Amino acid sequence: MQVQHPCGDPKLPAEADRDLSLRIVRTALLALQTAVTGPTLFEPPSTTAAERVHAS
């Protein structure tokens, strides 16, 4: 997932953008707590229906 905007996706409705931002932050917090031994990719859980509808 590539986020063009640091706070989420401004094209999404407010509720969906907030959900995306929370998922990104939760994933980041999980990454900080996870011991890794090499390059590791952490991705937020899959998108919501609202995000898929409004994605360009």
Residue 3 has pLDDT above 50, yes or no: yes
Per the DSSP assignment, residues forming a β-bridge with 5 are 8
Position 54 scores a pLDDT of 44
Position 2 scores a pLDDT of 59
Position 14 scores a pLDDT of 83
Per the CB < 8 A criterion, the answer to whether 50 and 13 are in contact is: yes
Position 4 scores a pLDDT of 62
Per the CB < 8 A criterion, the answer to whether 24 and 3 are in contact is: yes
**pLDDT tens readout for residues 4-55:** 666 677 788 888 888 888 888 899 999 999 999 999 998 888 765 544 444 4
